[in-house]
Structure 1
């Protein structure tokens, strides 16, 4: 199975936008340089060691999804039903409507890229989550 650096970048950008992580947040969380993070987000000049070093800082991010587009974006919850990372529910920093529109557009872009590559992504689960957020907003 080939690794597509641009797809990794799109998936990582989708994840970080969903989590509302800005570049300064990413630098603080990972200890990486802005150049390295931009390379990953843009899908160019990625070294596997750098990617692994960065991904390990995100407890809920499924590396199989990030690298290959397989499975869910998030790792499964533990036996107690707890997420690996504290939840930020109800704490959106951005305008909810604008945030949901942005995430929907990114999901469409990601889905189109995955379909073009011949992958069967787990987009339905992401779309359901966005619908759930939209319903909760109303």
Structure 2
């Protein structure tokens, strides 16, 4: 499964908004240089070891969710029948639901752009093939 850097960035940004962290705070919390955190948050190319190292320093964050979009934002370590909100999560759920909807919309747009890019690449290839015969 390929990793989409833009989606990984969007998910990590979402986590930061929930936890009310800025780049500097995340950098200090994870002991990661601010420029590396910036690259990850911008969806730029970076070493996956840097991302894994950063994620290891955030014990409540589900790294599979950040990287692949699988599961929940937070790791669940609750007993059956219990529901404990993650530490640092505000009580105002409506704001987070709205934020989640915005994130999902953003992820859908990224997927659409990715599909459009694939279509453009296919059309460009087809045009090159056709111009060879002229």
Q: Give the TM-score of the pair, scaled to structure 1.
A: 0.64
The residue that corresponds to 2:40 in the other structure is 40
Q: Specify the alignment match of 1:127 in structure 2.
A: none
| Counterpart-to-counterpart distance in 2, 1:84 and 1:98 | 15
2:129: which partner in 1? none
Structure that is richer in helix per residue? 2
Partner of 2:87: 86
Partner of 1:10: 10
- Aligned-partner SS, 1:16: helix
Q: CA RMSD in A?
A: 3.2
- Check whether the contact 2:6–2:110 (CA below 8 A) recurs between aligned residues: no
Match of 1:110 in 2: 107
Please, what TM-score do these two structures have when normalized by structure 2?
0.66
Instruction: State which structure, 1 or 2, has the greater radius of gyration over its C-alpha atoms.
Output: 2
Q: Which 5+ residue runs of structure 1 have no aligned equivalent?
A: 119-138
> Matches of 1:10 and 1:74 in 2, distance apart?
15
